[in-house]
Amino acid sequence: MSTGTTDGRRGSGSPSRAPRHTGFLAARPTLAALALAAVPAMSLAFAAVVGAGAQRRGGPLLVTLAAVAIVVVPAVAPAGFVRRGARPAVFLAALFAWSLCVLSGFSLFFPDERAEAIGTGVAIVGFPPSVESAAHAVEQLLPSLGHARPPPPSARLQEPVAPADLEPRQVELPSEADGNSLVVTVTAEGRLGKGAKMRMLLDTGASFTTLSRRALDEIGLPVDDASPTVKLGTAAGEIEAHLALVDRMLLNDVEIPAVTVAVCDACESHGVVGLLGLNVLGHFLVTLDSAHQRVLLERRPGPANRALDVTPWVKIRAVATSWLDGRVEVDVTVTNAADRVIGTAEVGIHCDSSYVAELHDVPARGKKNALVRLPRGAKCDDYTAPLERATW
């Protein structure tokens, strides 16, 4: 008796199955929607944490790791408690929710700093200005669990005073507390006497004073991309910064003419436009009274040495020639790239002994040379010729 099938389809092979990727394809729109919500929220929270760390001058690696630990890592945990196929969606949903929590609670720990921190973080990452503007617009719509508080009276800007204990040669700068640092107010002037008051962080460890491009624009001093550059260490890492020459800076009523500043946008944060460095502070004996938030300056005696300001703008070429009769001559040429005359340039010549070539009135964007005759028999096969003293 035949045992053939009554339905040709049932004997034709394996039972039919639903396509294996149907669930995944169905989930793709959901994942895309979650990603569109989570990535911008995570980016804002990440920028806020990075910006807050940079404003407190944290190291780039430490700040980045802290941002990942605070913003991203907590969102990974919920995905570990669901089945594998649902993990991407759970992670994105958790990332979105946690990022909003970080942004909302930011003001509890850093009152009135969220907008500035996001702007700093976006700038460090290197996004264009349009992204920074959009970030600030979104920030205004975000909830906040904290309330901005005014600084305590001891941290508010202090107007310059002349207390009885000031010495005749001392001046006091307006100052305010910024964590463990002091912020002072000085006046910077660019071309044609256009000036503005600037809030700057007092930094005795910085060789150069820094200002942001925005601050330089405010005093009518454009940045020349052909100007000399220096390397600066910032919270975002080492950068190569162009230099500009500010016509003068006023510290209370003390004038410092022709100050070289490094252009550093990363050094601007929370209303502080730059750092007041050694090429300005080095003219003074500086007394920091942290208890009363006072910065006292006393002008150093004798003529000021402006070599720190002048050096980046000059190139020095020194050629030593030894004659058969024992004479040794060194031809020194100083080339000035600044738009200001160098009044005096003293170039040290260091070989077996030390000598000095003194040049006067090196023209703006020009050069000048001097011939120095060393004692007969001087050994000058190996030598260096740095700029040791200078004045504008």
Residue type, 111: P
Q: Please name which of 77, 147, 139 lies closest in space to residue 110, comparing C-alpha atoms.
A: 147
pLDDT in tens, 195-212: 999 999 988 888 899 999
d(CA 75, CA 84): 16
Reduced to 3 states (helix: H, G, I; strand: E, B; else coil), residue 356 is strand
3-state SS class at 264: coil
308 within 8 A of 386, measured Cβ to Cβ: no
| Burial status of residue 122 (CB atoms within 10 A of its CB: 0-12, 13-18, 19 or more) | buried
**3-state class (DSSP) for residue 252:** coil
Q: E strands, 79-180, where? A: 170-173, 175-178
**pLDDT, one tens digit for every residue, the chain (392 residues):** 444 444 444 444 444 554 544 454 456 788 888 888 888 888 888 888 888 887 676 778 888 898 899 999 998 888 888 888 788 888 889 889 998 888 888 877 777 678 777 877 777 766 665 666 666 666 666 665 554 444 444 444 444 444 446 666 788 888 887 777 789 999 999 977 889 999 999 888 888 999 999 999 999 998 998 999 999 887 667 889 999 999 999 998 899 999 999 999 988 988 899 999 999 999 999 888 766 777 888 888 888 999 999 999 999 999 999 988 888 999 999 999 999 999 999 999 999 899 999 999 999 999 999 999 999 888 888 999 999 999 99
pLDDT of residue 150: 44
Residue 299 is predicted with a pLDDT of 87
The amino acid present at 70, given as its one-letter code, is I
Contact 94, 75 (CB under 8 A): yes
pLDDT, position 321: 92
C-alpha triplet 247, 174, 292: angle, nearest 5°: 145
Query: Rounded distance, CA 344 to CA 310, Å?
Result: 10
According to DSSP, the β-strands at 314-322 and 254-263 are unpaired
> Amino acid identity, residue 148?
A
Closest CA to 257 of 273, 280, 276, 236: 280
Distance, CA of 218 to CA of 31 (rounded, Å): 47
- pLDDT at residue number 180: 72
Q: Are 162 and 170 in contact (CB under 8 A)?
A: no
| Amino acid making up residue 279 | N
pLDDT tens digits along 223-241: 998 999 999 887 667 889 9
**At 51, which amino acid appears?**
G
pLDDT of residue 50: 85
Q: Give the model's pLDDT for residue 294.
A: 79
What is the rounded CA–CA span in Å between residue 294 and residue 159? 10
pLDDT at 113: 77
- Cα distance between residue 252 and residue 44, in whole Å: 40
Q: Which helix (H) or strand (E) element contains residue 48?
A: helix 22-55
